[in-house]
Amino acid sequence: MPERIEDYEVLGIIGTGSFGTCYKVRKRNTSHVFVWKAVDYGSMSEERKKLLVSEVNLLRELRHPNIVRYYDRILHKESATIYIIMEWCVGGDLATMITKCKRNNTYLEEAFIWRALYQTSRALQACHSPGRPVLHRDIKPANLFLDSDFNIKLGDFGLARILTNAKDDDKEDENDSLYAQTVVGTPYYMSPEVVKGSKYNRKSDVWSLGCVIYELCSLTPPFSSGNIKSLTTRIKGGRFERIPSHYSNELQQMITFMLTVNHEIRPSIETILHHPSVVTHIATWS
C-alpha cells in the first residue's frame, strides 16, 4: 500500500534547502522520526519531472552506512508536490558543528577528523563505483550530517543538481557547469578544474572533501575571499595556511595531497582509503 502524507505527523519545519522545504516528521504508526523534503514540481517540464522521479528512485537504491538513507517518496498530485522521506540525523550537520566550535573557541579532536575523512570517503566510494557514478557535486559541511554515534552521513544526493534547476526550467543557466548551478552560496569548495570550466569529475569531489577536512581543523575554509573573482584566483593558486599546529603533520600532508590543483595527480578516493595514514588512524579507532 503506497504511503500517504496522512501517515505522517509534521513536527516542524527545519529549513529550506537548495531545492525545497525540509520538515521533521513522525510516522504515526511507528512513532519513528524522519525528514521529508517537500519539492514543488508544479513548474517543472514533463522531462524534468521524469528525471526527478528516476533520480529519486536511484537514490532509494543507495544504501550505505555513511549516506543519508532515502526511504520513500510520496507524490501528492493535488499540490504538485513530491515528498522525499529520509533518515533523520539526530546530530545535525557539520556546518553547525563548526559554528559552535568557533563560538566556544574549541577545536575538534583529530581522531574525529580522521574518522570524518574515512567515513565520507567511504560514502563517495559508493557513489564513484563504476556501476553507478552518482557524482555528489555538492560536498560541503552543511551536506554532511551526524547520527547518534557521531557517524558521518552524506546527504542531499544529486537532488540539488536536478532540483535547483527545477525553478527556472525555461531558462538555461549561462554557466553550464552543473556544479556551479548547484552551488547556492559562495563556491568555497569548488575545485580548480570546475572553476576553469572543465567538466565536474570524481576528483572534484576529492578536492571538495579536502576543503571540508581542512575546515574541520581550521574552522574556516582553505580558500576564502570577499568576492568570487579573488576566491577563484586563490582556488586556482592552491595555496593555503597550515592547519593549527596542534594537528599532526600527517593530517596536514593528507589535506595537502587532496588539495592538489592538478586533478590528474590528485588522489582518488581509493588512494585515500588505502593511504597508510588513514589505515593507521582507522585501526586505532575501530
Ligand X SMILES: CN(C)CCCNS(=O)(=O)c1cccc(Nc2nc(OCC3CCCCC3)c3[nH]cnc3n2)c1
Binding test (CB under 6 A) with ligand X, winner from 155, 210, 222, 267 = 155
Active-site residue among 138, 149, 173, 176? 138
15 sits near ligand X (criterion: CB under 6 A): yes
The closest alpha carbon to 84, from 164, 20, 12, 32, belongs to 20
| Amino acid of residue 209 | L
**Closer by beta carbon to ligand X, 219 or else 258:** 219
Grid coordinates of 39: 519539492
- 226 burial via Cβ count (<10 Å: 0-12, 13-18, 19+): exposed
Q: Determine the interface stretch with ligand X among 93-101, 176-184, 207-215, 228-236 (rule: CB under 6 A).
A: 93-101
Can you tell me the distance from the alpha carbon of 271 to that of 61, in angstroms, rounded to the nearest whole number? 25
Binding test (CB under 6 A) with ligand X, winner from 95, 101, 108, 261 = 95
259 sits near ligand X (criterion: CB under 6 A): no
Q: For strand 152-154 and strand 21-27, is the pairing parallel, antiparallel, or unpaired? A: unpaired
**Closer by beta carbon to ligand X, 17 or else 192:** 17
Q: Determine the interface stretch with ligand X among 92-100, 103-111, 202-210, 227-235 (rule: CB under 6 A).
A: 92-100
58 sits near ligand X (criterion: CB under 6 A): no
Which SS3 state, helix, strand or coil, does residue 91 take? coil
Contact 169, 44 (CB under 8 A): yes
- Phi and psi based region of residue 9 (left: phi greater than 0; alpha: psi -120 to 50; beta: remaining): beta
**Closer by beta carbon to ligand X, 148 or else 286:** 148
The reply to whether 138 belongs to the active site is: yes
142 sits near ligand X (criterion: CB under 6 A): yes
Binding test (CB under 6 A) with ligand X, winner from 8, 23, 35, 209 = 35
Instruction: Kindly state the smallest distance separating residue 33's Cβ from ligand X, in Å.
Output: 9
20 sits near ligand X (criterion: CB under 6 A): no
Grid coordinates of 37: 523534503
Collect all residues with Cβ–Cβ distance below 8 Å to 273 and sequence separation of at least 6: 118, 121, 122, 125
Contact positions vs ligand X (CB under 6 A): 14-15, 17, 22, 35, 68, 86-90, 92-93, 95-96, 142, 145, 155
**Residues designated as active site:** 138
